[in-house]
Amino acid sequence: MLVIGAAAAVGSVAGAAAGAAFASTQYEKVISKLEEQNKNMSENCDKQVEATKKENKKLTEKLADLTTEVSQAKEEAKKKHQELISKMEQERKEMQAKMDRDAKATQAKIDMLLSFLNIHPALQPASPSHSGAQTVTEGLSGATGTQSLHGANDHMSTSQFSIVADFSDDDIEVMPDQQAPSSYVDQLKEQKKGDLTVIDSMTLENTLKLLELKSLLSDLDDNLRDVKKGKKSIEDHRKYFKTEVDNKLKNLSLIYHPDSVQRAAFDR
C-alpha cells in the first residue's frame, strides 16, 4: 500500500511539473505574441506619427504659400485700386480742364460778340467826328409789311449810310450820302418831323443784342442743361460750340459786315 501511495504521489508531482511546464510555455507564447503585437502597434504608431508630421509639414508649407499669395493679391489689389483712383482723378481733372476751356471759349466768344456789337461803327452815336450818323425808327420792332433796302453801294463804308423808317409806306431804306451823310439825315429829319422817331445808337445796340443774343444764349442754356442732366456728353458739348455757335457768330459777322449790311441787315 505504501508503495502504491508513493507511486501515486510521484505521479502527481510529475503531472504537476508537466502542467507547470506547459503553462510556462503557453505563458511565454502569449508574452511573445503580446510583445510582437505591441512592437507592431508601436511601429504602426511611429509610421502614422511620421506620416502625420509629413502631412502637417505639407499643410504648413501650403498655408505659408497661401498666406504669401493672399498677401500678394492684397498688394496687387491695392496697387490696382490706387491706379484706378489715380486714373479716375486724372480723367476728372482732364474733364474739369476741358469744361473750363469750353467755358472760357464760350465766354470768349460771347465777349467777342459783345465787343463786336459795342465797337462796330454802325452802332456808334452820330457826332461831328463820326461822319456816319445812323437813325433808326421805332418801325424796327413795330413796323409790318414788306421791308426793303435800296440804293446802297456794296463798296461804301458803314459810316456812309443811314437807316430811316418811313411810316407812310412801312419801308426801311438805306439812303447814302457820300458827301455829307450827317447833313442829309438832318435834312430828312426836318422834312419828316411828324413821321420820324429817332432811336439813338444805345437803343440800337440793345435791340441788336436782344435780337441776336437771345436765341444764342437760349441755346447755350438748353445745351448746358442737357449736359448737367447727362443727356449730352462733354464731347457733344464741344461739338455744339464748334458748329452751332461758330455758325451763329459767322451769321452775325455777315449781318454786321460793312460790305454786307445792305444785303442782310434786319433780314430776320
Rounded Cα distance, 127 and 54, in Å: 109
**171 - beta bridge partners?**
166
How confident is the model over 139-187, as pLDDT tens digits?
Answer: 333 333 333 333 333 433 333 333 333 333 344 344 444 444 455 455 5
- Indicate the pTM of the whole model: 0.29
| pLDDT > 90 in the chain, percent | 11
Residue 129 cell numbers, joined: 467826328
70-84, 85-99, 228-242: least confidently modelled range: 228-242
**166 - beta bridge partners?**
171
pLDDT at residue 226, rounded to an integer: 78
47-51, 79-83, 157-161: least confidently modelled range: 157-161
pLDDT at residue 137, rounded to an integer: 35
pLDDT at residue 198, rounded to an integer: 46
What's the number of CA atoms in the CB half-sphere (13 Å) around residue 85? 6
Counting other chains too, the contacts that 244-248 makes at CB distance below 8 Å and 24 or more residues apart are 244/219, 245/106, 245/109, 245/216, 245/220, 248/215, 248/216
DSSP H helical segments within the chain, as ranges? 2-119, 139-142, 181-191, 201-228, 234-240, 246-256, 261-264
13 vs 194: which has the higher pLDDT: 13
How confident is the model over 203-243, as pLDDT tens digits?
Answer: 565 566 566 666 666 777 777 777 778 777 777 767 776 67
Rounded Cα distance, 9 and 21, in Å: 18
